[in-house]
Amino acid sequence: MISKQGKLEQDLGGLLSVILRQVGIAAFKYDDQGFFTPASQLPKWFLQLYNRKKGMTSPKTQYDLAAAFPFVENFLFDAKQVWNKFETGHIHSGLWTEVENGEQELYLDAVAINADGVPILLLTNETNNFDVRHTVFQAARDLALENEQLECAIQRHQRLLHQQLEGICNQQISFSEINKSIEKEHSAVLICRQDGRTEVFNKALIDIYSLQNDKELKRKSLLEKWVTEAENLYPEIHARLEVGKHWEGEFETSDSYDSKKWIRLMIAPIMNEDEEVIHYICIANDISDIRVSISEVETITQFDSMTGLPNRKNFWKYLSTQIDIKKHQGGSLVLYYVDLDHFKQINDDLGPEQADFLLNTVASRLKQCVKRQDYIAHLGADEFAIVTTEYGDIKSYANIAQRIIDGIYQEVSFNELTLNVSASIGVAVYPQHGLNARQIVRSADYAMYHAKEMGRNQYQLFGPSKVKTNSQRLRIAQGLKNAIDNDELELLYQPQICMGIENIHRAEALIRWNHPNHGIISPNVFIPIAEEMGLILDIGRWVIQSACRELSRLAKRNIKVKISVNVSPKQFKYSNLSKDIVQALEDFSIDPKSLELEVTESAFMENMDDVIQQLEEIRLLGVSIALDDFGTGYSSLSYLKNLPVDQLKIDRSFISELPKSKHSRTIVESLIKMAHELSIEVIAEGVENEEQLNYLKGLNCDFIQGYFFHAPLSENELLSMYESVTLD
């Protein structure tokens, strides 16, 4: 079995290494001795910084990052928490600053990743993005500082004014005289009796409450109104005033037009000789402007600077608030969770600048797809969210979702090419699909995931079945990670019987997963999940290694057989398949002619030229190639002549209808004839009865595979079978 380190090096050795270098990320694998081994070619900025730190210039194979960077040393504690867990995950360190050449500052971030049990540390240079972030925070803090100073000035003034008024009151000067002293005061002043009846007030108070005349104020008890308004934020206000204590605070009040304002209020009692409250001095200032700018500060930090849309933080706040409103007022809201299809590939292929351009384009299009009052947020990377709060039925949700899909799916022109970008959308409705923000987002996420599974570029409304499917997928994904290490995977072998006069022995290796709790899980279930999660690369290597081991075992018993193994399109794209095969052939000293790869037509879909080149390299080794499931999906007879294949496997769906279906007969006859003309041998799979066998024999089909002859056999059963027949 290949070690985890070996696998890692193979995985990262290719595409990922190139990407990491291009984006300037230094990637390392952590070892138990506390050193870091580069997992890709290290970027220049890192090497310069490290060499300066350690005073070394020669390239090293192991880096002592903890010694070079005290910040990383400290972060290792958190990183190890992630690395030691039995699940994939990651944690960010947060930004730190390093100084290069005593002047230039580098702003770095560390990310610890548990990649299927392999401890990875990424060091990213955030210097280029730092200015934008710093500008936002600087502006926010400058504004916050200014507000804080304003509030302090108001507070100081209120306290000073209170001292003056208290002095005047204690001198038992008449209220008309007091009135004169406060009439030009900018702060609103009210002196009232203990029961709230008004004694004296000034114009500033009338202005705050937009009163038409002072009679209106005399009729009301403002004290009572204030206490009622303030007690939501300050429940202690009653108790303090009752015992004659001073109180200060900020709260929202409403004027005579019911307009909302924020005021800062101080209420101070005036006591008589018997320590009884006889009057209150109340001083108020309108601080609505300050409050607005506090909210602006929050806004600055809750918007995505690239798209100008609210960010994830704002999204959660908005969604929670809207749900609270709906809880009290009734009604529903709809969340559309939008995820761009294949964004990562676009990002990788076109680079981050073009990817940003695409995200901006999508943001603009989303705005055109919904009403002005609807809410759009950019949650990060390729995820957007739209919230609509108007009542609607399923048809209206569907219309909006389709409009979004159509809106996004228009051409985007880059410098040298034009793309159509699609999106998958999950739709969830409050309260039907969740009673709080977290549940609604989870439901929409499930639905979006389902839309991806159904082929992308579509929307799905949340339904309970999606939860079940996703939970099952998660369980499978979790178990798959350990399946190889726990020896839960097994290869069975289904013989392919030669119809010619030569006694050629062949068998197809078929993978099974013997799950400790769920029994046998079909490859139809777990292979798509493994492909999606990238685990297929490990599984693919395991299959090749296991098949070669079996070939070696059979060869030692003098049994000459060819075994075919299935390979995934992902193995062409993300691994060095040729290298894996050479490794396995060498490990078990196998004649390459004993091994065959089965590839499906879908392998050629994404990058036909590259796949053909890889297959030609593999053929040069002596390994033969079979084209699997031929006749389904993308089949084109015309391109078959261009593919480097030795065998063609007719899909079982055609065989099962033989010989009754005229349609299937025509196809199978044509395929066999054409393949033979191209010197390609034909294997019919799924043969289950004598009638099918005889029909295929009549067409000179070269090999037959199916339950009519053999079910898939275990290694020992295969050995017994071959030992029971005469072999060359």
User: Which lies closer to other proteins via its Cβ, residue 251 or residue 414?
Assistant: 251
Cβ distance to other proteins smaller for residue 75 or 226:
75
Contact 548, 585 (CB under 8 A): yes
Angle of helix 343-350 versus helix 352-369 axis, rounded to 10: 140
Structure tokens, 666? 């025509």
Cβ count within 10 A of residue 70: 10
- In whole angstroms, how close is the CB of 108 to other proteins at the nearest point? 9
Nearer to other proteins, 112 or 627 (CB): 112
Q: Residue 81 or residue 399: which is nearer to other proteins going by CB?
A: 81
CB of 595 to other proteins, least distance (A): 51
Considering beta carbons, is residue 134 or 468 the nearer one to other proteins? 134
Strands 188-193 and 703-705: unpaired
Cβ nearer to other proteins, comparing 236 with 606: 236
What's the closest the beta carbon of residue 338 comes to other proteins, in angstroms? Answer: 26
Closest distance between other proteins and the C-beta of residue 70, in Å? Answer: 6
The minimum distance between CB 137 and other proteins, in angstroms, equals: 5
Contact 314, 377 (CB under 8 A): yes
Which of 492, 489, 491 has the alpha carbon at shortest distance from 710?
A: 492
**Can you tell me whether residue 58 is helix, strand or coil?**
coil
* Complex with other proteins: residue 147 or 705, whichever CB lies closer: 147
Residue among 581, 583, 563 at smallest CA distance from 618: 581
If the CB atoms of residues 69 and 574 are measured against other proteins, the closer one turns out to be: 69
Output DSSP code: residue 651. P
Q: How far is CA 622 from CA 510, 542, 627, 642, 644, in A?
A: 22, 20, 16, 19, 12
Q: Please return the burial class of 150, using the count of CB atoms within 10 Å of its CB with bins 0-12, 13-18 and 19+.
A: middle
Retrieve residue 457's tokens. 């570029």
Residue 343 CA to residue 383 CA, distance in Å, equals 10
Burial environment of residue 387 by CB neighbours within 10 A (0 to 12, 13 to 18, 19 or more): buried
Closest CB 145 distance from other proteins, rounded Å: 5
Q: Cβ of residue 99: shortest distance to other proteins, in angstroms?
A: 8
**∠ at Cα 677 (676, 679), nearest 5°?**
60
CB nearer to other proteins: give 154 or 499: 154
Structure tokens at 91: 């944690």
DSSP string, 53-120: HHT--S--SSB-HHHH-HHHHHHHHHHHHHHTSSS-EEEE---EEEEETTTEEEEEEEEEEEETTEEE
Minimum Å gap between C-beta 144 and other proteins is 6
Residues 419, 407: contact at Cβ < 8 Å? Answer: no
In sequence order, what are the residues at sequence separation of 6 or more whose Cβ sits closer than 8 angstroms to the Cβ of residue 113? Answer: 82, 88, 89, 90, 119, 120, 121, 122
CB of 78 to other proteins, least distance (A): 6
Rounded (10°) CA dihedral 284, 290, 295, 299: 180
Closest CA to 86 of 116, 121, 122: 116
Least distance between other proteins and beta carbon 431 (Å): 30
CB of residue 143 to other proteins, shortest distance in Å: 11
| Closest approach of other proteins to the CB of residue 234, in Å | 16
**Footprint of other proteins on this chain (CB under 8 A)?**
70-71, 74-75, 77-78, 94-97, 107, 130, 133-134, 137-138, 140-142, 144-145, 148-149, 152, 156, 294, 297-298, 301
Smallest gap from Cβ 98 to other proteins, in A, equals: 8
Q: Which is closer to other proteins, CB of 65 or CB of 366?
A: 65
Question: For the chain, how far is it from start to end, CA to CA, in angstroms?
Answer: 31
CA distance 58 to 307: 43
Helix 523-533 with 464-483: angle, nearest 10 deg: 80
Taking the least distance from each CB to other proteins, the nearer of 76 and 544 is 76
> Looking at beta carbons only, is 127 or 181 nearer to other proteins?
127
Q: Which of 146, 191, 212 is nearest to 284 (CA)?
A: 191
Q: Which helix (H) or strand (E) holds 709?
A: none
Residue number with CB closer to other proteins (149 or 420): 149
Is residue 20 within 8 Å of 77, Cβ to Cβ?
A: no
Instruction: Return d(Cα 30, Cα 37) in angstroms, integer.
Output: 6
Does residue 645 sit in helix, strand or coil? Answer: coil
Measured in whole angstroms, the distance separating CA 667 from the mean position of its chain's CA atoms is: 44
Least separation in angstroms between CB 151 and other proteins: 8
CB nearer other proteins, residue 144 or residue 533: 144
CB of 258 to other proteins, least distance (A): 29
- Under 8 Å between Cβ of 312 and 379: yes
Q: Residue 85 or residue 141: which is nearer to other proteins going by CB?
A: 141
**What number of other Cβ atoms are within 10 A of residue 521's Cβ?**
17
